[in-house]
């Protein structure tokens, strides 16, 4: 059984393969594939309840590794001494099949309860404890069985007189690679989690029955054909004591997985961080170790035995780790090479991620494979059981993500952690000071790298820009970058997030539009904080309690850099003091929060990013509905420039299954970055016009100014955002795959639009406005027919305005743009004087040409004043 982090590290050796031996290799292959598939299934299911915080992620991984180690250790002697090892292997595979399938069916039922048991804001001890022990208890029977399958399989074929230790490791590792890629790229997207679990259980069952039918080794009960003859074993093991061997097994496991954690964290700053990105990184890691162990099978005699051979390998590993680590500084340039060679596209993008991973992890993992194979042979020579060796290595590997990801990288940075890992390999070298250049050459290179390499981080700086803050967090690198104009932007893993310190009307509207649709909100929940600008805007209302949930603590810490006072000047921490900000997973918080909310607003989660798709599922939307107070409203914002139409259809289908009365709004008229919102108020689907007018005319002057600056000065600005009624959305989503926990369509579909978008955002927007319809009666309770006609004209003019923007060729000359747009926009205003965006565009063009042609500018402004006599809303 191979763990997610790639504990098995041996590739196909050059040994004669007969029919029975081939059967053993196929069983190891299938077992490795199932093991990785099961882990992906359970990890995804558990994260829906335990959360995506680093606590939950590492706790689940630790529980899985711990179970593997417990099983390998607890059963090591009984399997080694068994006269019928095939029965052990078959029984273990049966246990995996039935327990695994039952667990995959049970976890979705337990999800709400597990989330509530941990709580919305648990203490560190409660969170760590429950997140570790709950998965450990649930997974222990099956993970313990997985940890013992490979020792049992190796024992089966050793009893026949065939030395297949390396070959079985090889097939198991190859199966892990196939399982990783197959489950992520094919099985889950096509079948879903439950169907994939059934397929895995069936394959485990086939493995069990095949082993029982073959009965390898049972004709020679108790016979143990040693991998290494006793004389050779004594000679090979004379120089390496058992304690030292255990130290090497543990140290190599900890440092090897530590390097994987480090490389993935650094590469995440240049890759797209999709579910496919992480699958490729893991596959590269496994293939590298397998290739090294395969080479070891052919070249073991040349390496030498005992301390001399191990010292030589550890010296190679230090050099390879430093070489692979140095390539990380060039990862961003390696990533784009396939696109330059073969042209842009999804295949080139994925090839670029694989290339960067191969250069960074290929050399170190190749030597790791050689070293692990050498240690396996040393263990057998020292009369250690294979289960014992695997248990020690796996248990140490389980600690690596905690120590490297949670402690070393935040404390020392990626560069410091890399140097410490290389130093750890140096410290493991037996007889260090007696090995001459085998030690001194890696040491000298380590010292040179420590002295001359810069910080290992990626931050794209605009011209004249500077870094205001940078944090290597436990889950991501978070930085705030200021450009030459003094505008600060938030970067997470070197990707610019929505919003900035210059955020204007659109960002204000993201907070205020849903709040104005509720007659009297007293408590609001924001899922996702980003720069903190939207929650700060909401908190300007003194009668509103604002809670905000953000996954990354470093993002909350960076928020004061974006805080603004009502006049737009920096306000520091004071601008956020009224916001109750919680560092937590949004899904778990919604499940476990004790209070209900009048308004819940979900941020623009990029659907392609790993983990974000879980915030667009039917189950999450249902949990949000349970969290709404009577008369409560839920708004889910969607960035159309981040997703293709099919992804949008899947999200809308999931939303409508929970909120069948849901409607769509358009928060901005941008053609390149259009933002939609799905809005629903289950208890009162339609809105009362008088209540909306009252919300838009608050007694506080500051709030009225804030609404005007957001382009929400009156009821036409607010209701004019309506883009689709519930009937249009139902037609749009008909036949779409419903995004759910079992069928995570968004997680697996959205990345393809990120790698190679098939259309432009304006094309997607045009498709929507051409097919979606909206009727006043679907949005409003009884209203004045004259008002409804004016509102209908507003929506029609908004559609024509967007189509005009799509059809107009841009020009850097404002006079040329005025020539093209003046008459069409004036015509729109004549049809709907309330449509401020057309007037705003003309005013901006008039200001741009006033110095060159003041007469034309003045004439245009007079015409605008005649068509739209009301004072325009304040906009920024």
Sign of CA dihedral 202, 203, 205, 206: positive
Angle between helices 836-849 and 854-867 (to 10 degrees): 160
What value does the mean pLDDT take over residues 599-615? 92
Burial label for 239, CB within 10 Å (0-12, 13-18, 19+), is middle
Give the model's pLDDT for residue 243.
83
Neighbouring CB atoms inside 10 A of 123's CB total: 9
Residue 432 has pLDDT above 60, yes or no: no
Give the model's pLDDT for residue 226.
38
User: Could you report the per-residue pLDDT of 15-51, keeping only the tens digit for each?
Assistant: 444 567 788 788 889 999 999 899 889 988 888 888 7
User: Could you report the per-residue pLDDT of 73-127, keeping only the tens digit for each?
Assistant: 999 889 888 888 889 999 999 999 999 999 999 999 988 888 888 888 888 788 8
Q: What are phi and psi of 780, to 5 degrees?
A: -115, 145
User: Could you report the per-residue pLDDT of 655-698, keeping only the tens digit for each?
Assistant: 999 999 999 999 988 898 999 999 999 988 889 998 999 999 98
Separation CA 623–CA 48 (nearest Å):
12
- Among 34-38, 141-145, 496-500, 851-855, the range scoring the smallest mean pLDDT is 496-500
3-class state of residue 272 by DSSP: coil
The more confidently predicted of residues 772 and 310 is: 772
Residue 574 has pLDDT above 70, yes or no: no
Residue 438 has pLDDT above 70, yes or no: no
Angle between helices 645-658 and 761-771 (to 10 degrees): 50
Q: What are phi and psi of 851, to 5 degrees?
A: -70, -35
> Which stretch of DSSP H or E encloses residue 870?
none
Helices within 584-644 (DSSP H only)? 586-592, 618-627
Q: How confident is the model at residue 62 (pLDDT cuts 50, 70, 90)?
A: confident
Percent of the chain's residues with pLDDT above 70: 89
Q: How confident is the model at residue 749 (pLDDT cuts 50, 70, 90)?
A: very high
- Name the nearest CA neighbour of 269 among 414, 156, 139, 137: 414
Give the model's pLDDT for residue 873.
42
3-class state of residue 678 by DSSP: strand
Residue 227 has pLDDT above 70, yes or no: no
- Name the nearest CA neighbour of 119 among 595, 601, 626, 624: 595
The more confidently predicted of residues 491 and 300 is: 491
What value does the mean pLDDT take over residues 354-375? 91
> Which stretch of DSSP H or E encloses residue 630?
strand 628-639
Rounded to 5 degrees, what angle do the CA atoms 728, 733, 735 make?
A: 130
Rounded to 5 degrees, what angle do the CA atoms 530, 532, 538 make?
A: 130
Number of H helices, E strands in the chain: 35, 12
Residue 507 has pLDDT above 80, yes or no: yes
């060159």: which residue's tokens?
852
User: Could you report the per-residue pLDDT of 184-200, keeping only the tens digit for each?
Assistant: 999 999 999 999 999 99
Separation CA 275–CA 610 (nearest Å):
5
> Which are the contacts of 135, defined by CB distance < 8 A and separation ≥ 6?
42, 46, 50, 59, 60, 63, 64
Give the model's pLDDT for residue 475.
83
Neighbouring CB atoms inside 10 A of 302's CB total: 7
Mark whether 603 is an active-site residue: yes
Residue 571 has pLDDT above 70, yes or no: no
Residue 233 has pLDDT above 50, yes or no: no
| DSSP conformation letters of 497-533 | PS--TT--HHHHHHHHHHHHTSSS--EEEEE--TTSH
Q: How confident is the model at residue 305 (pLDDT cuts 50, 70, 90)?
A: low
Neighbouring CB atoms inside 10 A of 865's CB total: 13
Rounded to 5 degrees, what angle do the CA atoms 14, 15, 19 make?
A: 130
What value does the mean pLDDT take over residues 546-569? 77
| DSSP conformation letters of 438-461 | HHHHHHHHHHHHHHH-------PP
Q: Which of 472, 603, 717, 725 is catalytic?
A: 603
Separation CA 582–CA 643 (nearest Å):
28
Neighbouring CB atoms inside 10 A of 407's CB total: 12
Separation CA 865–CA 846 (nearest Å):
13
Separation CA 180–CA 398 (nearest Å):
19
Percent of the chain's residues with pLDDT above 90: 47
Neighbouring CB atoms inside 10 A of 133's CB total: 13
User: Could you report the per-residue pLDDT of 782-832, keeping only the tens digit for each?
Assistant: 778 889 999 999 999 999 999 999 999 888 998 899 989 999 999 999 999
Give the model's pLDDT for residue 430.
65
- Average pLDDT score, the chain: 85
**For 275, left (φ over 0), alpha (ψ -120 to 50), or beta?**
alpha
Rounded to 5 degrees, what angle do the CA atoms 660, 661, 663 make?
A: 110
User: Could you report the per-residue pLDDT of 724-746, keeping only the tens digit for each?
Assistant: 999 999 999 999 999 999 999 99
Specify the CATH architecture of the domain 240-458. Answer: Up-down Bundle (1.20)
Give the model's pLDDT for residue 640.
93
Give the model's pLDDT for residue 502.
65
Q: What are phi and psi of 400, to 5 degrees?
A: -60, -50
Give the model's pLDDT for residue 231.
33
Separation CA 492–CA 586 (nearest Å):
17
Residue 13 has pLDDT above 70, yes or no: no
Q: How confident is the model at residue 415 (pLDDT cuts 50, 70, 90)?
A: very high
Q: Which two tokens stand for residue 876?
A: 């920024």
CATH no. for 497-783 = 3.40.50.150
> Which are the contacts of 841, defined by CB distance < 8 A and separation ≥ 6?
821, 825
**Taking the C-alpha atoms of 727, 728, 734 and 740 in order, what is their torsion angle to the nearest 10 degrees?**
-90
Give the model's pLDDT for residue 134.
87
Q: How confident is the model at residue 228 (pLDDT cuts 50, 70, 90)?
A: very low
Give the model's pLDDT for residue 120.
85
Separation CA 158–CA 176 (nearest Å):
22
CATH no. for 1-225 = 1.20.1250
- Name the nearest CA neighbour of 220 among 159, 164, 163: 159
- Among 178-182, 423-427, 743-747, the range scoring the smallest mean pLDDT is 423-427
> Running DSSP on this structure, what letter comes out for residue 559?
G
Give the model's pLDDT for residue 207.
92
Tell me the C-alpha to C-alpha distance, in Å, between residue 297 and each of 161, 169, 637, 664: 18, 11, 56, 62
Residue 170 has pLDDT above 90, yes or no: no
pTM higher than 0.85: yes
Q: Which two tokens stand for residue 87?
A: 């029965």
Rg (CA), the chain: 31
Separation CA 86–CA 27 (nearest Å):
12
User: Could you report the per-residue pLDDT of 247-295, keeping only the tens digit for each?
Assistant: 999 999 999 999 999 999 999 999 998 999 999 999 999 888 888 877 8
């Amino acid at each position: 059984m191979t763990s997610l982090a790639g504990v098995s590290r041996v590739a196909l050796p050059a040994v004669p393969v007969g029919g029975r031996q081939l059967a053993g290799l196929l069983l190891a292959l299938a077992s490795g594939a199932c093991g990785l598939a099961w882990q992906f299934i359970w990890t995804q299911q558990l994260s829906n309840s335990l959360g995506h915080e680093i606590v939950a992620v590492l706790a689940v991984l630790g529980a899985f590794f711990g179970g593997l180690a417990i099983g390998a250790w607890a059963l090591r002697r009984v399997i080694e001494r068994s006269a019928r090892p095939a029965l052990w292997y078959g029984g273990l595979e049966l246990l995996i099949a039935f327990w695994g399938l039952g667990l995959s069916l049970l976890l979705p039922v337990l999800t709400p309860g597990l989330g509530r048991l941990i709580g919305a804001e648990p203490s560190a001890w409660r969170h760590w404890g429950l997140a570790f022990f709950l998965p450990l208890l649930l997974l222990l029977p099956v993970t313990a069985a997985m940890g013992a399958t490979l020792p049992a399989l190796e024992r089966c074929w050793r009893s026949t007189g065939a030395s297949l230790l390396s070959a079985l490791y090889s097939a198991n590792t190859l199966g892990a690679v196939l399982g990783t890629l197959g489950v992520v790229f094919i099985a889950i997207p096509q079948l879903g989690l439950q169907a994939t679990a059934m397929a895995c259980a069936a394959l485990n069952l086939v493995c069990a029955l095949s082993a029982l039918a073959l009965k390898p080794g049972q004709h020679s009960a108790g016979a143990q054909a040693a991998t290494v003859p006793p004389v050779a074993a004594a000679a090979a093991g004379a120089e390496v004591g058992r304690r030292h061997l255990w130290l090497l097994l543990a140290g190599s496991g900890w440092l090897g997985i530590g390097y994987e954690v480090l490389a993935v964290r650094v590469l995440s700053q240049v890759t797209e961080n999709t579910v496919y990105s992480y699958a490729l990184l893991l596959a590269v890691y496994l293939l590298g170790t397998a290739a090294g162990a395969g080479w070891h099978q052919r070249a073991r005699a040349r390496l030498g035995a005992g301390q001399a051979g191990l010292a030589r390998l550890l010296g190679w590993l230090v050099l390879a780790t430093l070489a692979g680590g140095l390539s990380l500084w060039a990862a961003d340039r390696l990533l784009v090479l396939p696109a330059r060679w073969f042209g842009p596209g999804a295949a080139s993008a994925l090839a670029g991620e694989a290339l960067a991973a191969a250069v960074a992890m290929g050399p170190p993992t190749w030597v790791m494979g050689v070293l692990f194979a050498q240690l396996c042979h040393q263990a057998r020579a020292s009369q250690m059981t294979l289960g014992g060796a695997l248990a020690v290595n796996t248990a140490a590997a389980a600690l690596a993500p905690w120590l490297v990801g949670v402690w070393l990288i935040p404390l020392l940075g990626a560069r410091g952690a890399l140097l410490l890992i290389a130093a750890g390999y140096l410290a493991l070298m037996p007889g260090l000071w007696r090995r001459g250049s085998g030690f001194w050459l890696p040491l000298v290179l380590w010292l040179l790298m420590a002295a001359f390499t810069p910080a290992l981080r990626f931050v794209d700086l605009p011209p004249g820009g500077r870094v205001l803050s940078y944090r290597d967090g436990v889950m991501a690198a978070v930085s705030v970058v200021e450009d030459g104009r003094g505008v600060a932007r938030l970067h997470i893993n070197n990707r610019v997030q929505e919003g900035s310190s210059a955020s204007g009307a659109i960002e204000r509207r993201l907070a205020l539009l849903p709040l104005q649709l509720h007659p009297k909100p007293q408590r609001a929940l924001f899922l996702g904080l980003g720069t903190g600008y939207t929650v700060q805007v909401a908190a300007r209302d003194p009668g509103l309690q604002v809670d905000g949930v953000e996954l990354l603590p470093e993002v909350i810490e960076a928020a004061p850099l974006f805080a603004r006072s009502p006049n737009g000047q920096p306000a520091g921490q004071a601008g956020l003091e009224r916001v109750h900000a919680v560092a937590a997973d949004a899904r778990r918080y919604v499940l476990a929060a004790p209070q209900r909310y009048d308004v819940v607003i979900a941020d623009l989660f990029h659907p392609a990013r790993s983990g974000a798709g879980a915030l667009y599922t039917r189950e999450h939307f249902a949990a949000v509905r349970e969290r709404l107070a009577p008369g409560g409203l839920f708004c889910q914002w969607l960035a159309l420039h981040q997703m293709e139409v099919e992804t949008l259809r899947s999200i809308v289908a999931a939303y409508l299954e929970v909120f069948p009365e849901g409607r769509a709004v358009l928060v901005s008229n941008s053609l390149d970055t259009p933002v939609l919102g799905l809005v629903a108020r289950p208890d009162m689907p339609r809105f009362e016009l008088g209540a909306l007018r009252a919300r838009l005319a608050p007694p506080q002057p500051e709030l009225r100014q804030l609404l005007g600056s957001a382009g929400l000065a009156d009821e036409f600005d607010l209701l004019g955002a309506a883009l689709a009624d519930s009937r249009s959305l139902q037609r749009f989503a008909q036949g779409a795959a419903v995004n759910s926990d079992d069928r995570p369509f968004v997680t697996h579909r959205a990345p393809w639009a990120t790698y190679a978008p098939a259309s432009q955002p304006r094309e997607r927007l045009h498709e929507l406005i051409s097919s979606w319809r909206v009727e006043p009666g679907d949005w409003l309770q009884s209203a004045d027919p004259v008002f409804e006609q004016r509102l209908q004209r507003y929506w029609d003019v908004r559609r024509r305005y967007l189509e005009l923007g799509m059809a107009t060729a841009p020009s850097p000359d404002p006079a040329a743009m005025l020539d093209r747009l003046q008459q069409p926009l004036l015509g729109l205003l004549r049809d709907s004087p309330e449509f401020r965006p057309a007037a705003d565009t003309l005013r901006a063009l008039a200001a741009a040409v006033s110095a060159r042609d003041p007469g034309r500018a003045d004439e245009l402004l007079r015409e605008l004043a005649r068509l739209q006599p009301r004072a325009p809303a304040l906009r920024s």
